[in-house]
A = this chain, B = another copy of it.
Amino acid sequence: MGNCQRCIVKELSKLSTLTSSQLKQVSACKTATSFKKGDVILKEGSMLNGVYCIKEGKCKLTKLGPNGKEQIIKFITSGDMLGYRAVLGEEPVSLSVVALEDMAACFIPKQDILTVFHQNKNFSKNLFSNVCNELNDANTIITNMAQKTVRERLAEALLFLEDTFGHDEDGFIDVVLSREELSSVVGTATESAIRLLSEMKKDRIISLEGKRIKILDRAVLKRIGFGF
């Protein structure tokens, strides 16, 4: 089994405030887990008795919409911690988490993470500011959803995805999303997203190869998405 001192300190930039002995403690009680692409790691509404630290892989955080349609709220990758809000607040999980590819994670039981939370002020402070940042992000998304067109949001989403996941060796955005998932990020009908992608392809702003998307003209995309 791995060692948190190496893993967490190296990877959890924002959550790397544990002391050496705390790390050892957490390391001792964690359980390494893996998930396959498509696995539901957390389910909206369920209770949780520990948190997950993501070592490897990408996942989407989703919320069920009014008509049972999933809304993608956020993406998570290596270094992030999942489920701490539910554990600390003793509340049901607020978002489902689904693996977008095979993943490696560590499960840390509730008791142990709570202990660290109460012992280490920096750790709790970090979690607090993490939630605050998420809230700021969410407010920005609300504003964009309310005020931008689908086309603008799609352009922004593509830039965001590239920014978040980088590109593979061929220059394609390094995350595989179905058109349906992409349209859920943007907040539009699947056909609309497809149509706009085709247009952008025709205009040589992006190129498409199966599900993979490559940004060809970043400047134009920025102009569409941000107006400059």
Residue numbers of A with Cβ under 8 A of B are 63-67, 69, 71, 73, 85, 88-89, 91, 94-95, 127-129, 131-132, 134-136, 138-148, 152, 184, 187-188, 226-227
Are A147 and B94 neighbours in the complex by a CB distance under 8 Å?
no
**Given A63-B140, A66-B226, A128-B128: A146 and B88 interface contact (C-beta under 8 Å):** no
In the complex, residue of chain B having the shortest beta-carbon distance to the beta carbon of A135: B135
Interface centre among A138, A152, A184 (most CB of B within 10 A): A138
**Contact for A71 among B63, B88, B146, CB less than 8 A:** B146
A143 and B71 alpha carbons, distance in the complex (Å): 6
Residues on the B chain within 8 Å of A128, using CB: 88-89, 127-128, 131
In the assembled complex, the Cα of A80 lies from the Cα of B226 at a distance in Å of: 34
Q: For A74, give the chain B residue with the smallest CB separation.
A: B139
CA–CA, A1 and B151, complex, Å: 54
Q: Which 4 pairs of residues, A with B, have the shortest CB-CB distance?
A: A146-B187, A138-B138, A145-B145, A71-B143
Which chain B residues border A227 with CB–CB below 8 Å?
A: 66-67
